[in-house]
A and B are shown apart, each in its own frame.
Chain A
Amino acid sequence: MTPYAYIIALLPLFSFLMIVFFLRWKEQVSSLFSISMIVLGWVLSLIVFIETLGRNGAPYESYFYITSFAGINFELGILVDSLTAIMLMVVTTVGACVQIYSVGYMKDDPRYSRFFAYLSLFTFSMLGLVLANNFFMIFIFWELVGLTSYLLISFWFEKKSAADAGKKAFITTRIGDLGFIVGLMMIAFYAGTFNYQGVFAKAAGGQIPAGILTVTAIFVFCGAVGKSAQFPLHVWLPDAMEGPTPVSALIHAATMVAAGVYLVARSMPIFASTADGAMVVATIGLITSFIAASIGLVQNDIKRILAYSTVSQLGYMIMALGLFGHDTALGEESVGYTAGTLHLMTHAFFKGLLFLGAGSVIHAVHTNDIQDMGGLSNKMKITTWTFIIASLSIAGIFPLSGFWSKDEIVATTLHHPVFFIGTLTIAFMTAFYMFRLCFLTFFGKPRDHHRYDHAHESPNVMTYPLVLLAVLSIFAGWWALPWLSHGYSSFVHFGEVKHEGPNYALMLISTIVAVSGITLAYLMYYRRSISAEKAAERFKPIYTFLYNKWYFDELYQKVIIDPIMKIADFMWNFDARVIDGAVNGTAWLTVLWSDIKLWFDVWIVDGAVNGSGWIIRQLGGALRYLQTGSMQFYALFIVVLVVLIAVFKFELVRIDRAWPFLTLVLALGFVALRFYSRLAAERNDGQSGISQEEKS
């Protein structure tokens, strides 16, 4: 199956095309078709996954050349190794769950079919991205992911906030992509190829100068910063909540934000060759993670909390991968690669579950504000328990998935004190805000009775995916149990297989941190023995600062958007005044010049033409009366002229003396003719056509 792995990506594309062109009008058929395609894709992914396990993660690559430009081959192909296989599983599993869930969530939406078409296109883009075997292809799918995320975030485009959020996501990620493009160009220039293996061979072989490699790594990382919502481009992800909740689940779990982490993991040979570049990556990851977790502490919108949690967890992964690159470049041992990718997988499951659960809650109470919820556990058993499983998992409670991946990340930071403390702090905050969310939503007394009375458990089509993801949230991490000698770390690894035995001290520390976070949340929001309001009052400046998300949006508004608007305003004025002025001025001059030419044409050119015509007419009008019709008159004329010619010929009168006289005679003759013609014309008035009568 592995050589045909591209079929997995083509299935959702097929369903997208089918829905757009044929099935759009049959809503149920559209969704069924889309789901069956992705389930089929899941089955094929499973086969590919098992085959890759059989090869022990050895990469399989097949491709063909499309074209070649400036010595660089552009390829179309697939690369299947352990990372790809895992990503295929994650994307198809979460994608399938989200699609099944959407059948219930999007019921009665007027653009139901279109939603499934977009979901299919989104899945296709992400699958293509993980299957790609070169940087050029990954960039194409990278942009496709960006496009479809834009379409889905602003799916309810009637809402201005949704349309704005879509734009924000698109533009913000575009800033990162600009860096990515520069990185790609540097790769093409210095490595002479886009192919992963070729580029990595050059990077690892030291054929690219170290400084160039560092800059390239940072530029490539820019792409990941945009897509994976890292500081300072993290602002789009919380706003992306405006999209339908299944979309949030997909974006946050399997696609889009995973793409950035995947890119860093995939390009690890580059980062692992440059300690400085990798350190930048790790630092950005830590900063992002910390900022996002601190904002998550005080938010009240259920989806927004989850969004900041996602940003924070992505920061974790990026940090782990960055530290791994740093340590590897310095020749030290590290488990960061395994940790980052493992966390990417486990996070996909429990974050997908959290979002779908949040969607289920929103579906039931029609609000996003957790202050208006409470006590929902009585009404929504399945949602509550799956949500709590996911929360325990993300908080890192033994023995759920999240515990193992988080443990690995903590282990990665062991030799970096700042990162170690930061990671534990963030783990504490994560446990706290997740359980603050849980307690406020599902326990305690209902704060809004009206909403509470109308709440109900979601239909089966929505709860089954929750249960499936809950199972995965519990067990997916068990693959990485440190007691297994051939577990996850021997499948997904970078360089030599590194297997570390269980570190019980570390497990104890992270468990204590997580449990204390949960306990604090329990005391504040369940037992209410510590008043949350008083704490907020006590630390008011910090609370306000966090509540307003560190004022990032306001800062960007002031520092970036306002100046740009000012420049745009200036440009508009410049355009309106100077350029339009020049254009209109030219037009005005042209009109003026045309008027002059019109006048010239009418009076001079036409005048000359009409004037000559007029002269000829006058001459003709006079001279016609010489044609009397009397033959004898003509004969007389001839005689007179012959005599005249003879006179001048024999110089009886010299013409050079006689010409004034002759002219006078001619003029007089002409005037006489004119005079005669008047008379003749008047006489003829009454007798027009007389000759005709005579003839008959």
Chain B
Amino acid sequence: MVYYLALAALLFAIGLFGVMTRRNAIGILMSLELMFNAANINFVAFNQYLGGNGMAGQLFALFVVVVAAAEATVGLAIVLLIYRNWRGVDADNVSIMKW
């Protein structure tokens, strides 16, 4: 169990680091996927660990995958628009919504 959790934590940390540090918007999206998957691993692992006959954890993981797909679609659409406006996908440039 602890391996699963360690893996998930590692994966989450990598994703978080990616989100924080990547300048490329597509990279950020990819890192986000990593964080989703870390959460998914936790869901599945806890579902197995806690036993019982419920499939809630598994189903949640599936939901997350579906929602992540939708989110990736929206995110990529935004990225596409950013690209069209700024001729690039550098997230640092997209800071017009400040004070």
A interface list, Cβ under 8 A from B: 624-625, 627-632, 635-636, 639, 680, 691, 694-695
Does B19 sit at the interface, judged by CB under 8 A? yes
B interface list, Cβ under 8 A from A: 16, 19-21, 28, 91-92, 94-99
Chain A residue nearest in CB terms to B98: A629
B19 contact from A627, A628, A630, A632, Cβ within 8 A: A632
- Give CA–CA (A636, B96) in the complex, Å: 18
The reply to whether B91 and A631 form a contact with Cβ atoms under 8 Å apart is yes
- Give CA–CA (A301, B4) in the complex, Å: 141
The reply to whether A636 and B20 form a contact with Cβ atoms under 8 Å apart is yes
The reply to whether A628 and B98 form a contact with Cβ atoms under 8 Å apart is yes
Residues of A within 8 A of B92 (CB): 630
The reply to whether A639 and B96 form a contact with Cβ atoms under 8 Å apart is no
- Give CA–CA (A244, B57) in the complex, Å: 123
Residues of B within 8 A of A636 (CB): 20
Residues of B within 8 A of A695 (CB): 96
Residues of A within 8 A of B94 (CB): 629, 631
A632 contact from B20, B97, B98, Cβ within 8 A: B20
- Give CA–CA (A635, B35) in the complex, Å: 13
- A-B contacts, 20 of them at CB < 8 A, read A624-B99, A625-B99, A627-B98, A627-B99, A628-B95, A629-B94, A629-B96, A629-B98, A629-B99, A630-B92, A630-B98, A631-B91, A631-B94, A632-B19, A632-B21, A639-B16, A639-B20, A680-B99, A694-B96, A695-B96
* Shortest Cβ distance from residue A679 to the other chain B in the assembled complex, whole angstroms: 13
B95 contact from A625, A629, A635, A680, Cβ within 8 A: A629
Residues of A within 8 A of B16 (CB): 639
Residues of A within 8 A of B19 (CB): 632, 635
B20 contact from A624, A625, A635, Cβ within 8 A: A635
Chain B residue nearest in CB terms to A690: B96
Residues of A within 8 A of B96 (CB): 629, 691, 694-695
* Shortest Cβ distance from residue B28 to the other chain A in the assembled complex, whole angstroms: 8
Chain A residue nearest in CB terms to B25: A631
- Give CA–CA (A532, B19) in the complex, Å: 142
- Give CA–CA (A409, B33) in the complex, Å: 140
- Give CA–CA (A492, B96) in the complex, Å: 120
Residues of B within 8 A of A625 (CB): 99
- Give CA–CA (A536, B39) in the complex, Å: 143
Residues of A within 8 A of B98 (CB): 627-630
Residues of B within 8 A of A630 (CB): 91-92, 95, 98
- Give CA–CA (A625, B99) in the complex, Å: 6
Chain A residue nearest in CB terms to B32: A635
- Give CA–CA (A592, B85) in the complex, Å: 67
Residues of B within 8 A of A680 (CB): 99
- Give CA–CA (A631, B99) in the complex, Å: 13
Chain B residue nearest in CB terms to A621: B99
- Give CA–CA (A624, B91) in the complex, Å: 21
* Additional A-B contact list (20), CB under 8 Å, known A624-B99, A625-B99: A627-B97, A627-B98, A628-B98, A628-B99, A629-B94, A629-B97, A629-B99, A630-B91, A630-B95, A631-B91, A632-B28, A635-B19, A635-B20, A636-B20, A639-B16, A639-B20, A680-B99, A691-B96, A694-B96, A695-B96
Chain B residue nearest in CB terms to A635: B19
Chain B residue nearest in CB terms to A630: B95
Residues of B within 8 A of A629 (CB): 94-99
Residues of A within 8 A of B20 (CB): 632, 635-636, 639
- Give CA–CA (A635, B99) in the complex, Å: 17
- Give CA–CA (A494, B99) in the complex, Å: 114
- Give CA–CA (A639, B16) in the complex, Å: 9
The reply to whether A632 and B91 form a contact with Cβ atoms under 8 Å apart is yes
Residues of B within 8 A of A632 (CB): 19-21, 28, 91
Q: Can you list the 7 inter-chain pairs with the closest CB atoms, starting with the nearest?
A: A629-B98, A629-B95, A624-B99, A629-B97, A630-B95, A691-B96, A628-B98
Most buried by A among B16, B95, B99: B99
